[in-house]
Amino acid sequence: MTTDTTKILVWDAPVRVFHWLMVLCFAGAFVTSESERWQLVHITLGYTMAGLIAFRVMWGLVGTRYARFVQFVRGPQAVGRYLASLATARPAHHTGHNPAGALAIVLILLAGAALTASGWANYNDLGGDWVEELHEVLGNGMLLLVGVHIAGVVVSSRLHRENLARAMVTGRKQGAPSEGIARSFAWLAAVLLAVVLAFWWSQWRSAPQPADEARLTPPAASVAVATVS
């Protein structure tokens, strides 16, 4: 890191909204995975994850500087060098994603895509019991990846003396003024959030309602009268 640094805008608004929506969707889907009562919530959050991943792939191709895959995806050697630097007094600093964090993000996106695809197949009774088992394995695998990612964020935050989780809220990190991005694309983040909320609303509106037993089942007295008649 250069000595002439300040708080600069690194993460655009779509990246931040995507990140926290993914956190919410995966956590909610994992918690409701074993519940019949909350099955629609589980399915809705799974479909939302699939849409979010599709958006992130698109934004990783045409988005702002630090959102693009070509900027942060590196090979195994770069990951190894970065991990080795963590044991030194001055670990390598990256304005955007570091190579290890980038690897975790790519793996989470791939696991998320496979998880939602297997969930869709299982819900539509395609492939038999092995698809259900695969879906469960992928869910646990993604939970492990998320845990490793969180641990990496904590370790990197301490070593670099910057709060990486807060940066994913504010969008700002320490860096040279020339390294910051010019636009946040808040309007696109608002559109993304609006689409997700509209989808959730439509799912809730179309959800099957519990049967009104009082209306469908005649009172006991009426049954008795009908029987006597």
Residue 18 and residue 21: Cα distance in Å, rounded?
5
CATH fold for the domain made of 6-228: Fumarate Reductase Cytochrome B subunit (1.20.950)
Q: What is the DSSP code string of 96-154?
A: S--HHHHHHHHHHHHHHHHHHHHHHHHHTT-S-HHHHHHHHHHHHHHHHHHHHHHHHHH
Q: If residue 175 lies in a helix (H) or strand (E), which one and from where to where?
A: strand 172-175
Query: Is the confidence at residue 219, as pLDDT, over 60?
Result: no
Query: Does residue 190 have a pLDDT over 80?
Result: yes
List, for residues 4-23, the tens digit of each pLDDT value. Answer: 678 999 999 999 999 999 99
CA–CA dist 68, 73 (Å, integer): 9
Per-residue pLDDT of 61-75, as tens digits, reads: 999 999 999 999 988
The pTM of this model reads 0.85
Gyration radius of the chain's alpha carbons? 24
**Tokens 């959730």 found at:** 200
